[in-house]
Amino acid sequence: MNLDSLMLMRDELVLTVIILLLLVAEILLSSKNKKYIIQLGLVLFGIYTFLAFLPNKTGELFGGSYNTYPLVHYFKAILAFGVFMILLQSVTWIKEKLLPYDFTAEFFILIFSSLIGLNFMMSAGDFLMFYLGLELSTMPIIALTAFEFWNHRSVEAGVKYVMLASISSAILLFGVSLVYATAGSINFDVIKGALHLPLLEIIGLIMIFIGIGFKISLVPFHFWAADVYEGAPTVISNYLSVISKGGAVYVLMTLLFITFTAFQKEWNWIMYGTAILTMVVGNLFALRQQNMKRFLAFSSIAQAGFILLAMLSNNELGVKAIIYFLLIYIFSNVAAFGVVHVISLKTGKENIDDYNGLYLSNPKLSLVLMIALFSLAGIPPVAGFFAKFFLYAAAASKGYYVLIFIAVLNVTISLYYYLLPVRAAFLRRSEHPIPYFRSDNYSRLAFIIAMAGLLALGLYSGVFEFISNISNIF
């Protein structure tokens, strides 16, 4: 171990240093100056995000427990960018709700710890590191879910989340132990070579899949999602629905495509069924939601179903499609949640009907909402269209036309509910619309970034080509 090899885990180290700096700042700053922690956290994380985009070497550490390669490195950077946008949106919330209780530094420390966990999980080379990362990413988020402790719904959401997260971890661990029992190792490479298809291994794989399925909120493991998203502070719902889901999808992808690729025939059927279930159930439940946060929760469940389409491909095209989709999904969901967040913070209103006549009072916010929802629904020229198209293409490359047919029918259904907030904001008028307000500059910056991303990433193919070039992980 020397400095060079240590630099392989640069992302995690920098984040750890940031956390320590914030801890020190929290201790040193007098209570009058605590508000500068927000700026400090933002700036430090901005630096981290910038560093994350610089290229890194390929290699492994700790005897193969930790490895890094371009795809995982840049995917970490994408997640960091997503977190940065979320942080920008949360500034006002922190100032208004957390600063009086002096919880600012804790917020940053917890969310950064969770991100470190995700990074370790994605870079894991064996189940030990994988599990440590998973838990490190989940625990802080449980705390953050219950962070608005004066609000009983937030606490309730925290309790729900801790229950289901621990159950899913238990199932996952059981699965891991079954795989260990048959393959004789927890190292992914060794397992890959030692798989010989006894039933026990398949059961183990299914249990691991269930454990990760909880994180991605696949049906039938989605029951926590709507309640937790609704109860948690909006920024945390946002984090849960894009960042932590994105990390889990990445891990699922590498596990299936690389480690368990020998089981393809078995897990393909599981994916096939789960994909249909997730799309249909997510869509049908989203149809009737009134609360915007619950609505986005079910929408994000349905979106997870679409990701599974590309999971079936087990080829490079699938990797590209998934990574690109997650990138676009981060932009769209962050923007959509952001609008809900600023409106909810300003007026306390979260229902779709409350948005009636929004365009007349807040045209820019309505446009952001519309573009974000169009992206989620997959309407060109917004980037979401291209992302979805590539998912279908990945599934079509293996000839799953029936599944694509079901998926496109689901897209049509989903268009209905994505148009509901648009209808409220643009088509309807209201006696008591949400009054005009100017959202804070940090949120505006986040919206501008998200909009630029959504409009440019599809029409300009460079980003996709870049992802294409680093997607060879087989």
Partner 1 sequence: MDILTLFVVVPVLIVLAMVLFTKDLKQARMVTLIGMLVQLGMSINLIVRYMDARAAGNHAIMLFEKNVPWFSEFNAHYHIGVDGVSVLMILLTTLIVIAGTFVSWKIDYLPKEFFISLIVLATGVYGFFISLDLFTMFVFYEIAVIPMYLLIGIWGSGPREYAAMKLTLMLMGASALLLVALLGIYFTSSAGGQAPTFDLLELAQRKMDFEWQKIFYPLAFIGFGTIGALFPFHTWSPDGHASAPTAVSMLHAGVLMKLGGYGIFRFAMYLMPEGALFWQDFFLILAVTGVTYGALSAIQQTDLKYINAYSSVSHLGLVLFALLMINKTAWNGAMLQSLSHGFITALFFALIGMIYGRTHVRDITKMQGMMRIVPFLSVAYVVAALANLGLPGFSGFVAEMNIFVGGFMNNDLYKQVLTAFAVTSIVVTAVYMLRLTGRMIFGPTTKIYTNLPKAFWYEKTAIAILVLFITLIGTLPFWWLQFIEESVNNFIQPLIK
Please give the residue ranges that form the binding site for partner 1 (CB under 8 A).
317, 320, 374, 379-381, 385-386, 389-390, 392-393, 396-397, 399, 401, 404-405, 408-409, 411-412, 415-416, 419, 422-423, 426-428, 461, 464-465, 468
Q: If you count them, how many residues does the chain have?
A: 474
Token pair in block for residue 224: 């926590």
Token pair in block for residue 274: 């789960």
Closer residue to partner 1 in complex, CB, 22/319 = 319
Closest residue by Cα to residue 59 from 70, 49, 67: 67
Measured from the CB of residue 324, what is the shortest distance to partner 1 in angstroms? 10
Measured from the CB of residue 352, what is the shortest distance to partner 1 in angstroms? 13
Closer residue to partner 1 in complex, CB, 5/461 = 461
The answer to whether 330 and 78 are in contact (CB under 8 A) is: yes
Closer residue to partner 1 in complex, CB, 212/457 = 457
* Neighbour tally for 290: CB within 10 Å: 12
Query: In whole angstroms, what separates CA 456 from the centre of its chain?
Result: 21
Closer residue to partner 1 in complex, CB, 169/351 = 351
Measured from the CB of residue 289, what is the shortest distance to partner 1 in angstroms? 17
Closer residue to partner 1 in complex, CB, 268/397 = 397
Measured from the CB of residue 200, what is the shortest distance to partner 1 in angstroms? 37
User: Which spans in 60-151 are helix H?
Assistant: 70-93, 104-123, 127-145
Measured from the CB of residue 133, what is the shortest distance to partner 1 in angstroms? 30
Distance separating alpha carbons of residues 202 and 207, to the nearest angstrom: 9
Query: In whole angstroms, what separates CA 356 from the centre of its chain?
Result: 29
Distance separating alpha carbons of residues 141 and 449, to the nearest angstrom: 25
Closer residue to partner 1 in complex, CB, 5/472 = 472
Closer residue to partner 1 in complex, CB, 250/426 = 426
Closest residue by Cα to residue 205 from 182, 176, 168, 247: 176
Residue whose tokens read 């049509």:
412
Closer residue to partner 1 in complex, CB, 202/403 = 403
What contacts 278, CB < 8 A, 6 or more positions away?
A: 218, 219, 222, 301, 302, 304, 305, 308
Measured from the CB of residue 291, what is the shortest distance to partner 1 in angstroms? 21
Measured from the CB of residue 432, what is the shortest distance to partner 1 in angstroms? 20
What contacts 409, CB < 8 A, 6 or more positions away?
A: none
Token pair in block for residue 252: 């699922």
Measured from the CB of residue 422, what is the shortest distance to partner 1 in angstroms? 8
What contacts 217, CB < 8 A, 6 or more positions away?
A: 224, 225, 245, 297, 300, 301, 304
